[in-house]
Each structure stands twice: as structure tokens, then as C-alpha cells.
Amino acid sequence: MASFHMITTLLFLLTIMLGASNAQLSATFYAKTCPNVSTIVSNVLQQAQGNDIWIFPKIVRLHFHDCFVHGCDASLLLNGTDGEKTATPNLSTEGYEVIDDIKTALEKACPRVVSCADVLALAAQISVSLGGGPTWQVPLGRRDSLTAHREGTGSIPTGHESLANIATLFKSVGLDSTDLVALSGVHTFGRARCAAFMDRLYNFNNKTGKTDPTLNATYANTLKQRCPKGGDTKSLIDLDEQSSLTFDNKYFSNLQNRRGLLQTDQELFSTNGAETVAIVNRFASSQSQFFSSFAKAMIKMGNLKPLTGTNGEIRLDCKKVN
């Protein structure tokens, strides 16, 4: 009888240990169950870029918007009128169909194995790398949420907030000033709608006719031509006027020249006494330092409240729960 209890206890302890190990994200999580996962994701993304040259920044943005609401759990991808997709901060997000294509390809190769949350994390890393940016080992093993978190979408950073507000938001999820500046550097590629910055041109601080004084005057006039008052607020403008299709560090030299498109971008450099100013200068002078810090920050962000072990599920279709 004693040996039976001993065996039962050992089995129980082993179960706990296995559960604990499952709760840790690991770059080799799919080494045996889906060894070609990265290649499959990369192939789909490269095919998608043939149809949409802006797909890489769109995919990275999906990962950001997912992680900043209750953690990286693919809750953003769920359909439904009460979901996150239709909340105001996500109305301009795109690229969902490419995530679906990746998931379809993975289900053919490794059925019921790779979560949609991991698809987002991997697709973001590979998009950055294919766009000319750094490569890093993505910790994997996330599971998918069973519900959306529409009420949490207010925590997604917008382009209209002060540096103090953004810094507080980042700090609340364990991301420091270096992480903030590095992750903001994702705006080295992609585009933004006129609606995201028109207040800087015509109504800064709710003062009619006032232009943001931190905005380079020549650049402001160019933007006013591209985004005229009363014009189409959905028109798209390059976030990085120098190389908006390439992931590099020119975003930071833009800030030094007061040519950051979004208010939250420019405030990283133009806020007197802010510790972010020195970080912007460092990244502007060293692309390798920016790339290294960006990779570290992406890993930290990707580790925000992941569902692991027996929590959540592995969705068969990223748009709906099983």
C-alpha cells in the first residue's frame, strides 16, 4: 500500500512539474510537433507581400494591438460585434486574412498544434526580419483566449496622447522607457491615416488654426497639402518619409529633425527633460543598438499575460472559438 501511495505521489508531482514546464514559453516549443512552423509562416507572408507591399507593418501592428489588451492571446482575431476588431482603436487594423492563410497552412501541416496567438507573434517577428529589421528567437507556447476583451481596448496607445500618458501605460505592463522608444520605432515602416494626426495640423491642443509647434514647418505644410482641412481623413501617409517600406533607424533621425508624423512619436524627442530624448539620439546614431533593443522589447511585450498549459485552447479557426 505504501508503494502505491508513493507511486501516486510521484505521478502527481510529475504532473505538476510538467504543467509548470508547459507554462513557460520556449523558442523550441514546436521543435517536435511542428518543426517547420517558421518556414510555413515565412512562405505565406512572402506570398502575401506580392499582393500587398504594406503587409509586414500591418501584421506587426496586429500583434501590438493584441498584446496590449489582456495580453498576447489572439483575442483581437475573434469575430463578433462584441469583439475587439470593431472597437474604435482597431477599426484601421488590417491583415487578418493573411493570419487566416497562415493558420490554414499550419493546420494542413500540423493539425491542432499551433495557436493563433503564436501565429501573431511569429508573423510579427518574420515580418520585421523580411522588412530588413532584426531577427530574434520568439518564445512560443501561447494558447488562445476563449473570449474577446472589448472593454480593454482603451489600453491601446493612440497617436494623440502625451508622453507621460504613454509612458505610464507602458510602465503598467512592465515596459520601461527604452522599450517604449524601441517599440515606437516600429513606425519606421507602415502608414497612418490623416485622421491620426490632423489635429496637429489644424487644431493642436483644441486651439482652432493652431499647428503643433514641435512639427517642422516645411513638413507641416507638406502634410497640409496631403491632408487638407475637410479632405478625406482616411488618406494614408508614410510614417517614415525616408523609407516607409524598410525597417531601419531613420525614424529616429526624423524625430531629431522634428518630422515625426504622430504626436506620440515626436514627443519622444521634443519633450523637455524626458529620458526618452537620449534614447532617441542613441538609436539614431546606432541602428544596431536600435535593432537589439527592439528585439528585446518585442520579446518582453510578447510575454504579456500569455495563456499557457491548460488555459485557453488551440483554435482551429482564428476567427472563432472551437
Identified catalytic residue from 5, 63, 65, 160: 65
pLDDT in tens, the chain (322 residues): 444 344 433 443 443 343 333 458 999 999 999 999 999 999 999 999 999 999 999 999 999 999 999 999 999 999 988 899 999 889 899 999 999 999 999 999 999 999 999 999 999 999 999 999 999 999 999 999 999 999 888 888 877 788 999 999 999 999 999 999 999 999 999 999 999 999 999 989 877 789 999 999 999 999 999 999 988 999 999 999 989 999 999 999 999 999 999 999 999 999 999 999 999 999 999 999 999 999 999 999 999 999 999 999 999 999 999 9
d(CA 306, CA 71): 6
Which of 311, 312, 305, 308 has its CA nearest to residue 173? 305
Is 317 among the annotated ligand-binding positions?
no
The response to whether 66 counts as a known ligand-binding position is: yes
What is the C-alpha separation between 44 and 149, in angstroms, rounded? 28
The answer to whether residues 42 and 152 belong to one domain is: yes
199 Cβ contact partners less than 8 Å away, ≥ 6 residues apart = 160, 263
Domain closes at, from 123, 156, 189: 156
Distance CA 320, CA 322 (A): 6
Does the annotation flag 63 for ligand binding?
A: no
Provide the residue range defining the domain that includes 233: 163-301
Q: What is the DSSP letter of 69?
A: T
Question: Where is the domain boundary, 156, 174, 205?
Answer: 156
Rounded CA separation 257/124 (Å) = 29
The model's pTM is: 0.90
Q: Establish whether 65 is a catalytic residue.
A: yes
Are 289 and 171 contained in the same domain?
A: yes
Residue 21 lies in a domain: no
For residues 109 and 181, membership in a common domain is answered with no
84 is in an annotated binding site: yes
If we measure between CA atoms, which residue out of 147, 141, 145, 114 comes closest to residue 19?
A: 141
Identify whether 15 is part of a domain. Answer: no
Q: How many domains does the structure of the chain reveal?
A: 2
Q: Are 122 and 285 in contact (CB under 8 A)?
A: no
The answer to whether the annotation marks 101 as part of a ligand binding site is: no
